[in-house]
Amino acid sequence: MTGQVVHMAAMGLLVSVLAPLIVLAGRRTVAWHRVPAPALPTLVGFVLLHGAITVFLEQRQVSALAEAGLHLLLLAGAVVFWLPVLEPGNGCSDAGRSVYLFLAGPSLDLAAVYLVLKGDSAGGIAMIVAMLPVGFAAVGVTWRWISREEQRTP
């Protein structure tokens, strides 16, 4: 059980912490603007990918290599997921970034709710807690948006 809790927490942190750090660290060396990431399809696609991988790993025993491959796929998807928020000039407004993240938080938690419903309460809660940085990012993006709007107001 402890292993499952750590695994689910690690999956949540991979999405909510590691992926945005990769995007931010690669800003000077990676041409993120060349990666197509329109907000709505990116959000829907990543929520489906995240859910599918989480449910699949819950239902099936896979080899360590297959599991590592699925985690790499999840990480790649998570990096693309963060592009509409973190990549300047992607066409997503401040309001769009805010809505994107506020929709993403509970949508991504649906996979963890599935775990709880299947009897893995500890693993599901661990994933939800590990995904809290998405909500914190939503609040931060919204705060910056409000601050910029107040500065523009005479």
- Which tokens belong to 113? 């709710």
For residue 140, CA distances in Å to 2, 60, 145, 151 come to: 32, 37, 9, 17
Give yes or no for residue 88 having a pLDDT over 90. no
pLDDT (tens digit per residue) in 41-71? 999 999 999 999 999 999 989 999 999 999 9
End-to-end alpha-carbon separation of the chain, Å? 57
The CB density around residue 114, as the number of other CB atoms within 10 Å, is 16
The dihedral formed by the CA atoms of 77, 8, 57 and 74, expressed in degrees to the nearest 10: 10
Q: CA-CA distance, 141 to 134, in Å (whole number)?
A: 10
Bigger pLDDT: 92 or 29? 29
Give yes or no for residue 89 having a pLDDT over 70. no
Give yes or no for residue 133 having a pLDDT over 70. yes
Bigger pLDDT: 56 or 153? 56
For residue 21, the model assigns a pLDDT of 97
Domain count, the chain: 1
Q: CA-CA distance, 122 to 97, in Å (whole number)?
A: 31
Q: Do 128 and 12 meet the contact criterion of CB atoms below 8 Å apart? A: yes
The dihedral formed by the CA atoms of 39, 40, 44 and 46, expressed in degrees to the nearest 10: -10
Span 23-30, average pLDDT = 93
* Band of residue 1 on the pLDDT scale cut at 50, 70, 90: low
Q: CA-CA distance, 65 to 83, in Å (whole number)?
A: 28
Range of the domain at 61: 1-152
Q: Do 4 and 121 meet the contact criterion of CB atoms below 8 Å apart? A: no
For residue 150, the model assigns a pLDDT of 87
